[in-house]
């Protein structure tokens, strides 16, 4: 479009509308990184608190449970005596089936450890100081 010999450009109405909508909605989406709980593992329901306080984890990996519905990842290890009668975990066939902070034993992922102090109160670091188990 020309205006007195000058060329002017007008933004398309649709482009202006889209920019306006994005400007209004973008603040509602929140930050794109970091998250609300920095201690949670991004791929599994887990936080360091759960490793050491399984009674108050609310379904995270390692939390105490009665059945699968109590666990965020859908598996309550209730049959295995090393699960304290019920512990939220992931079934496995080998270590690669578990998150990096866990290892596979008895077809269940358990927290890795080097010492008893790496485990919740009442657990011990078993199988050659590799996993936290309930007695």
Give 66 or 27, the one with higher predicted confidence: 66
Mean predicted confidence (pLDDT) in 71-99: 88
Is a pLDDT exceeding 50 seen at residue 40?
no
Give the residue extent of every domain in the chain: 48-133
- The pLDDT score that the predictor gives to residue 22 is 38
Classified as helix, coil or strand, 114 is coil
Q: Mean pLDDT, to the nearest integer, of 33-60?
A: 63
Give the span between the Cα atoms of 111 and 104, in whole angstroms. 9
The predicted model scores a pTM of: 0.65
Strands (E) across the chain are located at 2-3, 6-7, 76-77, 87-88, 102-105, 108-111, 124-126, 131-133
Q: Greater confidence, 8 or 124?
A: 124
With a pLDDT cut of 90, the percent of the chain lying above it is 36
pLDDT tens digits, 7-25: 544 544 544 444 433 344 4
Residue 26 has pLDDT above 90, yes or no: no
Report residue 37's pLDDT band, with 50, 70 and 90 as the boundaries: very low
Share of the chain above pLDDT 70, in %: 64
DSSP secondary structure letter of residue 79: S
Q: Compute the Cα dihedral for 57, 41, 72, 66 and give only its sign.
A: negative
């Amino acid at each position: 479009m020309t205006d007195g010999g000058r060329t002017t450009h007008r933004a398309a109405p649709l482009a202006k509308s889209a920019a306006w909508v994005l400007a209004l909605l973008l603040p509602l989406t929140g930050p794109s990184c970091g998250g609300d709980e920095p201690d949670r593992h991004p791929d599994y329901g887990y936080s360091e608190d759960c490793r050491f306080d399984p009674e108050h984890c609310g379904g995270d990996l390692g939390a105490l449970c009665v059945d699968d519905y109590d666990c965020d990842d859908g598996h309550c290890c209730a049959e295995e005596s090393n699960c304290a009668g019920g512990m939220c975990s992931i079934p496995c066939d080998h270590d690669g089936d578990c998150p990096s902070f866990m290892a596979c034993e008895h077809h269940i992922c358990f927290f890795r450890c080097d010492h008893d102090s790496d485990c919740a109160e009442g657990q011990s670091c078993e199988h050659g100081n590799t996993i936290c188990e309930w007695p």
